[in-house]
Amino acid sequence: MKDDPTLPPKTVKLRHLSPVLMLLILMFSTAWANPGGDRSPEDAQFAFADHLFQQGDHFRAVTEFKRYLFLYPAGTKGAEADYLLGEAFFQMKSLNEAMVQWEGVLKRTPQTPFREEIEFKTGKILWEQGREEEALSRWERLAQAGLSSSLKKSAARAVLWGLLKQKRYDSARLKLKEFALPIEEQETHESYFKKAEELPLKSPITAGTLAALLPGAGHLYLERPQDALIAFSVNGLFGWGAVSSFLQGNIGLGVLFSVIELAWYSGNIYSAVNTAHKINRKKESDFLDSYGLRFGLFSSTPSASGLNMVLQHAY
């Protein structure tokens, strides 16, 4: 059949393409109306919150997990959303909010499938808050749990780490015997205990005494040659200026140089003692970090579905 010559050319083309256009419109309208395919609104809400969490957008994830829990208080993902809400706070370093959230979960739903993860992480928060004995108690309770626990070994390692940080080496050795850890791992822990006891720390008393006897000597003991040179030079300069002024009868200038020298001399002693403490803290911190990394303490990578906290273990 020929085209109707009375119709405009553009109208003819539209008429010929109308089935294709209708199909495209139908496809796009269907996708727009139901972007998640067969996903329910509840599943879509949780998936969005979990997506934000996995992308590291924890601030927005908090809002979306709260929205899910408000809209679907009896939702199928309720326990997981409750846990991940606290985890989002934890990742944001909002430790008080994370503690309140997780403690609330344990009170409302003591049988939550995430109880072990919550116990372990709240122990970490307690430690960060300076409540070290409470943290150790919580980790030990998890480590000594009668039932099989995916976090028993991690909790045992956390207890040992905490005792090492507190320099309670004998207690750490006693706990090591109580925990059900592989023999090879126990030997590795013992080697770390020995290293901790034998860390080459600097004596603040020795550093301060040497600095008092000879400005700069304390820093030289601490292996800070530049600081030693500065302390020796400055103190020597002002000391020489004070003596020289007094010998020349310039009492006022001599007193001024003496006051300045006294300040530098005192500062030299304080700096030597303080530097010794800083060096020791750095060595102990580096050692504990290496110990923690060796046994995968506190590192976690949420799974794609957010179902579990996966701890990185050495064994």
pLDDT (mean) for 167-180: 92
Measured in residues, the chain has a length of 315
User: For the chain, what are the domain ranges?
Assistant: 1-33, 42-200, 204-294
Q: Which residues contact 120 (CB under 8 A, 6 or more apart)?
A: 139, 142, 151, 154, 155, 158, 309
pLDDT in tens, 117-136: 999 999 999 999 999 999 99
Mean pLDDT rounded to a whole number for the chain: 83
What is the pLDDT, as a whole number, of residue 4? 52
What SS3 string covers 249-269?
CCHHHHHHHHHHHHHHHHHHH
One of 3.40.50.20, 2.160.10.10, 1.25.40.10, 3.40.50.410 is the CATH number of 42-200, namely 1.25.40.10
The residue-averaged pLDDT of 142-150 equals: 75
Nearest to 60 by CA among 89, 34, 40, 37: 89
Q: Which of 88-97, 233-242, 289-298 has the lowest mean pLDDT?
A: 289-298
Region 278-299 average pLDDT: 86
Strand stretches in the chain, DSSP E:
300-302, 309-311
User: Residue 315 above 50 pLDDT?
Assistant: no
Whether pLDDT at 196 is above 60 = yes
Cα dihedral sign for 32, 37, 38, 40? negative
The string of pLDDT tens digits covering residues 3-37 is: 555 545 544 444 444 544 444 444 444 444 444 45
* 91 φ, ψ (degrees, to nearest 5): -65, -25
* Phi, psi for 37 (deg, rounded to 5): 65, -120
Residue 296: pLDDT band (50, 70, 90) is confident
Which backbone phi and psi does 7 adopt, to 5 degrees? -85, 145
% residues pLDDT > 90 (the chain) = 65
In the prediction, which pLDDT does 146 show?
A: 63
In order of 10, 27, 101, 306, the CA distances from 313 in angstroms are 69, 48, 27, 19
Report which of 296, 286, 270, 284 is spatially closest to residue 120, judged by C-alpha positions.
296
Give bridge partners of residue 301 from the DSSP assignment: 310
Instruction: Note the pTM of the prediction, 2 decimals.
Output: 0.70
DSSP notation for 257-309 = HHHHHHHHHHHHHHHHHHHHHHHHHHHHHHHHHHHHHHTTTT-EEE-TTS--E
What number is the average pLDDT over the span 160-171?
93
| pLDDT tens per residue across span 31-62 | 444 444 567 999 999 999 999 999 999 999 99
